[in-house]
């Protein structure tokens, strides 16, 4: 009885921690969403003013279009955050190097155009990883995009992969970073990244200065079934 009570207590504590993290992430996301909506409301009102000429109306229309796209992206991110916390990950063995190859090629081209080097370290042999492909790609894209945004021209973004104790660890970090805080949109993107990784029974760590994200997932041979933080026993 004592053991059952202890297990139930730990389970309740994990759920409470997950719910607290989810509420904090949603609050961050709503704060981010308020920014484009506020700009959009002002732009629409200004465009309707009789004192604004045709050039001014076009400018306000461009601003409105930009903020609508930004708001839609944030809203989609919030939707995905809810999904990641309420539904199980679709985990199956997958080939991580094969998944990463097109991502690396695409990001290397983008970073090179910005004067930033992409350094990649991958083991010669890597066993299959147990995880959800879509929920693994989102954190990788998010971390790479933010790492690039905080790295000065002439710097580098590093993607390093290693295995240890039945897990694979992906580390993305900025080398030669600019000293700036992350904005609310970037924080929301990273909150979704964490939710996506934890939904696969993975581990996630992030530091901002210098920017560094560490993702750990189980290798397929040692992985058990993934469950959501909010799943009941």
Task: Note whether residue 28 is domain-resident.
Answer: yes
- Which residues lie across from 203 on neighbouring strands? 216
Print the domain residue range for 32: 2-86
Is the same domain home to 96 and 199? yes
Per-residue model confidence as pLDDT tens digits over 61-106: 999 999 999 999 999 999 999 999 889 999 999 999 999 999 999 9
Task: Note whether residue 229 is domain-resident.
Answer: no
Q: Which pLDDT belongs to residue 224?
A: 47
How far apart CA 96 and CA 131 sit, in angstroms, is: 10
Beta carbons of 34 and 41 less than 8 angstroms apart: no
Is the same domain home to 52 and 115? no
Q: Among candidates 31, 57, 55, which has minimal Cα distance to 45?
A: 57
Task: Note whether residue 227 is domain-resident.
Answer: no
173 is written with which tokens? 């970090």
From 32, 60, 86, the end of a domain falls on 86
Beta carbons of 149 and 119 less than 8 angstroms apart: no
Q: Which pLDDT belongs to residue 2?
A: 53
The full DSSP string for 58-75 is: HHHHHHHHHHHHHHHHHH
Per-residue model confidence as pLDDT tens digits over 195-221: 999 999 999 999 988 899 999 999 987
How far apart CA 74 and CA 159 sit, in angstroms, is: 26
DSSP annotation of 222 reads G
Per-residue model confidence as pLDDT tens digits over 28-46: 889 889 999 999 999 999 9
Is the same domain home to 149 and 167? yes
């Amino acid at each position: 009885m004592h053991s059952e009570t202890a297990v139930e207590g730990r389970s309740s504590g994990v759920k409470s921690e997950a719910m607290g993290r989810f509420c904090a992430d949603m609050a961050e996301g709503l704060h981010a969403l308020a920014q484009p909506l506020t700009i959009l409301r002002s732009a629409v009102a200004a465009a309707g003013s009789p004192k604004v000429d045709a050039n001014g109306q076009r400018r306000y229309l461009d601003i409105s279009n930009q903020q609508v796209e930004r708001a839609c992206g944030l809203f989609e991110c919030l939707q995905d955050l809810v999904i990641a916390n309420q539904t199980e990950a679709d985990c199956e063995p997958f080939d991580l190097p094969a998944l990463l190859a097109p991502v690396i090629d695409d990001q290397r081209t983008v970073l090179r155009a910005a004067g930033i080097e992409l350094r990649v370290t991958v083991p010669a042999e890597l066993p299959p990883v147990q995880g959800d492909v879509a929920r693994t790609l989102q954190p990788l894209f998010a971390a790479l995009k933010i790492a690039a945004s905080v790295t000065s021209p002439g710097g580098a973004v590093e993607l390093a992969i290693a295995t240890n104790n039945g897990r694979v660890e992906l580390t993305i970090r900025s080398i030669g970073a600019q000293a700036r805080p992350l904005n609310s949109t970037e924080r929301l993107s990273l909150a979704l990244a964490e939710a996506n990784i934890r939904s696969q029974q993975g581990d996630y760590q992030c530091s901002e200065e210098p920017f560094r994200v560490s993702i750990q997932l189980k290798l397929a041979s040692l992985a058990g079934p993934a469950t959501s933080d909010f799943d009941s026993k």
